[in-house]
Every structure is written in structure tokens, then in C-alpha cells.
Amino acid sequence: MKIISVFGTRPEAVKMAPVVAELKKHAAVESKVLVTAQHRDMLDQVLDIFGIAPDYDLDVMQDNQTPTDVAAEVLRRIQPILRDERPDWILVQGDTTTVLAASLAAFYNRVKVGHVEAGLRTYDRYNPFPEEINRVLADQLSDLHFAPTETAKRALLKEAIPPERIHVTGNTVIDALRFIVSRPLNGDAPPGDVPPERLYPSDKRLVLVTAHRRENFGRPFANMLAALKQIADRPDVHLLYPVHPNPNVRGPAHEVLGAHPHVTLLPPMDYLSFAHLMGKAHLILTDSGGIQEEAPGLGVPVLVMRVVTERPEAVEAGTAKLVGTDTATIVREAMRLLDDPAAHAAMAQAVNPFGDGHAAERIVQLLLQSAAVSSQ
């Protein structure tokens, strides 16, 4: 059975790395990796950490690229590879434009698609943008759906996906996180060769920030930055913010926070260093998706600076809270977790709903079972 795993961004690579490693254990599988490099530098960091050498690299990234640019280039460049390789399956993960374009290309070439982390929904096609539509369409194109939770499975069933195609596996991000936190830094350092423990004063509580969502560009992002500035005014905290290179993020972030004495702005960090910093944080403020899954695994409360989330399990479990993009709301909820030990403990000690660290094993076993059924 020939399987090509396709991914293009750092979050996809993190979540696919355990699956790629598990596929290599099986002699019955010819496993290949194709990266689109939708995000070049951040993707390469993860490939190095997990020891993944791609068989194909589409290298599609352009400056200030749009989803249209990415989709068009992935479709154009992946076509001859699928034609020549004729894989039995391609595996995609999540909801990037790489996922949608690769799934569509596979369909055009009559190649079966397995969707890792299928079934996430906000039911708002513009939040997050373009991810909500990407994952809905990818699920319609997929032949096997590896849902991380029962909530995701129910979403797929509502959309008339046949139940025999849906399997609850847990989320592979927990597999990846267990691998990462078991590794010492061994001298690895974020940009600037500064060890993580020197990125903020030891007598301050660390507030870790990630904020880069496309739908938050403009006024919502300005509101978020205003909130971060107010939080940083506290003498007992230090904000650390690895800033996404997109000019719509980097410029405003440096303008508002660059000179603040309680803020450290960095280029994007390698995943190993960032995961270790997550474990040291008192609180994380984010508009990212994957961090809503990762931080609870480390016992760190998460405030989600979005109006909707495709991961309601985290909110229901109490490990994350939606705070939107209103400045006053973000500040109020952050101050509560900084001032109220009981409120902080309630979130930090809640049970992570996203899995047990064995999702990749389940996914590969399901693929092997599908091959056995097809051969009968």
C-alpha cells in the first residue's frame, strides 16, 4: 500500500509527524512525504525536529501570498506527482489551503483521501478564514475521516458522511507533544541564540502570546494589541510574543508593543523551544487553533482571542475560554487568571479532552484494515 502524507505548514507538520513515524514501522506500507512549503521556514524547523526528509517539496511559498495563490500552485505542482506515483492514499491534516488543494487534486486523480483531524466546525464560513471552508470541503472529498473527538464525529454525521468512514482516534497533537516535552533542549535556542529561560525575568510570571489569524487583521488585531499592552503594564508579568512574519501582524505588533519594557517580541520560534516555553507559562493568550489542544496537555490555561472556536471540547472541559477580540474583555479575563489562584487552578487542572497520545497508531491500523478489506 502506497501512502503519501501531504502537509505544508508548521501545525500540519507537528500533527502529521507521529503518523509519518508510525507508517515507517510497517513493511506493508510504502510511505512517502510531500510538503508544499506553504510556510517555508516554520515548516523546515519542524521537519528537522522530527527528522522528516520529504520525498517531494513543492516550495510554493510567496511573499504576502493569498489562499488563491497557494491553492493554484499546489494544484498545478502536485498533479504530475500523483500521476507518476499513483498512490493508494494521500493523507492530509486539518484545514489549511494545502489540505483543500491536495484533497481536490487526489479526487481528480481518483486517489483515496484520509483526513486527519476531520470534523472540526465553527459553522461560520468566515471564521476562521479560509480554514472553515477548507475543512468542510476536504471532508466531502475524503474517504476516511479520522475525527479527534466524539464532537467532531457528530459534526460529520450531521453532514451525511457515512458512519463507516468516520473513526474517533484522538488528536495526533498529543502524540507529538509527548515526544517533544520528553526531549531536552540540548542547547537548541530560539532566534537570536537566546536560551528560553533567559527570554523573560525569572521573578515574573510568563504570559505567552500567539496572534496572527487572517480574519483578525485590522481593528480586531488592534484591539488585541491594546489589551496585551494593558496586561503588560502589570509589574509582575512579562509577555513573550513570537510574531508571525506576515506584515499585517509584524508591523502593528512592533509599533504597539516593541518598546514596552515588559514585552519580548521574537521571530517565530522553533517548535521544540516553544513547547518548552508553553510548559513554563502561567497563561497563554492566543488566536491559534492547535494551542487550544496543546496547552491543556501541559496544564496551562488558554484564553482564545476569537469569537468562535472549532474546538468547543476545550471550552466545555474548562481548559480554554473564548474571550473574543474586545479589549476590555481580554484584559478582564486575563486579570482574573492572574489575580485569582482558584480560577487559575480550575483551568490548569481540567482534563484535556483531546486524546491519550496513541492517535497515530489508531490511524495507521485503520489504513491497514482498509487495505485488508479492499483485497478481499
Catalytic residue annotation: 95, 117, 131, 212, 214, 244
Grid cell listed for 250: 509584524
Torsion of CA 209, 282, 15, 134, to 10 degrees: -40
Interatomic CA distance for residues 231 and 338, integer angstroms: 10
The residue type found at 57 is D
- Burial degree of 51 (CB within 10 A; 0-12, 13-18, 19+): exposed
The DSSP output letter for 163 is: G
46: CB partners within 8 A, 6+ apart: 10, 13, 14, 17, 52, 270, 271
CB 353 within 8 A of CB 313: yes
CB 34 within 8 A of CB 81: yes
The DSSP output letter for 235 is: T
- How many other C-beta atoms can be found within 10 angstroms of the C-beta atom of residue 342? 6
CA quadruple 56, 74, 44, 61: dihedral sign: positive
228: CB partners within 8 A, 6+ apart: 209, 211, 239, 241, 256, 257, 263, 285, 330
Interatomic CA distance for residues 256 and 231, integer angstroms: 13
Three-class SS state of 69 = helix
